[in-house]
Amino acid sequence: MSKSDPRDIDEDAILKGMSPEEIDALEYELLEMDPENAILPAGYRQRDQTKKSPTGAFDRDALLDHLEKTALEHEDRDDLVPFTGEKKAILGMYTLMSNKQYYDALGTTGTIANTEGINSVVKPDAFKIFPDEPPNPTNVEETLQQIQENDSSLFEVNLNNIKDIPIPTLKEIFEAMKGNTHVESLSIAATRSNDPVAYSVAEMLQENTTLQSLNIESNFITCEGMNAIVKAMANNTTLTEIKIDNQRQKLGDSCEMEIATMLENNSSIVKIGYHFTQQGPRARAAIAITRNNDMSECLENACVLSSTESKMRQEWSNKIVLSSR
């Protein structure tokens, strides 16, 4: 029996011979639906089911009455936070508050400070006038003379924020500091000092054996002048604190590396005032400063122990002498 070729089937003739019910059933079976497609309207995501006969009687009014009756019979749940009846805020106030009103509200107890929001008139606080800091009263000429004379009553020299000190005078101060044996702290912050002054500082550090604290912050010292100071500190064993930050010009990476190397080779520096811009020199300097502080603490403890031992030995020797008598 030979099979017929599907291409020889006449579809039009078959469709003409079908009844309207059969055509609707065929369309229902051939519909391609996509329930997951959110772009399609809801009616096109599934097959049409509106032509089915109702399964039972439906009364809309009876359903609404039943829902309303069920809602009224349902008991309300207890509030998690009991209602106290106190007013905590003004309902409907949706505008912002100014800083003045906010801080006024914080200071009140039991009353509402603001009932109008940002639209209310807010008076500013009276401006507080603070007097300027008095100028540095240090007499530069007298201080220079005391340093040159090695005055034993002069332990600290503070020339901070004196803008009109001539550069030659600053150089004379550091020249006189070479042989001074009493000044322990010297500060020339914000005095417009430049590289020539820095070279004088470097020469002073090579000879002075008394100075313990040096402050040259907020000046016009460049990398060359700072390198001279750093190299001079390599052989200085008395300086324990130095402040060099906030110069007019950035010192640069090479100068920061020199500072870190100096701190690693100098065990007397326990405080340095400088903000490193590179991570490498910053880490090296932090390790060196920590080491120097530990060594300084160990030396202090050793001195205390040695003094205690010497006192004990002296007491025992006195007891032995008294007992022999």
**Rounded to a whole number, what is the distance in angstroms from the first to the last CA of the chain?**
150
**Angle 268-273-277 from CA coordinates, rounded to 5°:** 115
**Helices (H), ranges, 208-278:** 223-232, 253-265
pTM above 0.75, yes or no: no
Is pLDDT of 322 > 60?
no
Question: Please, which residues have CB within 8 angstroms of residue 227's CB and are 6 or more apart in sequence?
Answer: 255, 258
Q: What is the mean pLDDT of residues 163-183?
A: 95
- Lowest-pLDDT range of 99-108, 126-135, 269-278, 295-304: 99-108
Q: What is the mean pLDDT of residues 189-209?
A: 95
Could you read off the pLDDT of 270-297 as tens digits, one per residue? 999 999 999 999 999 999 999 999 988 8
| Per-residue confidence (pLDDT) for residue 1, from 0 to 100 | 47
Q: What is the mean pLDDT of residues 148-157?
A: 94
| Per-residue confidence (pLDDT) for residue 88, from 0 to 100 | 65
Q: Any idea where the domains of the chain sit in the sequence?
A: 140-294
Rounded Cα distance between 313 and 320, Å, is 11
Mean pLDDT for the chain? Answer: 83
Question: Please, which residues have CB within 8 angstroms of residue 232's CB and are 6 or more apart in sequence?
Answer: 201, 202, 203, 205, 206
Q: How far is CA 204 from the centre of its chain?
A: 39
- How far are the Cα atoms of 98, 112, 282 from residue 117, in angstroms, in the given order? 8, 12, 51
| Per-residue confidence (pLDDT) for residue 206, from 0 to 100 | 94
CATH architecture type of domain 140-294 = Alpha-Beta Horseshoe (3.80)
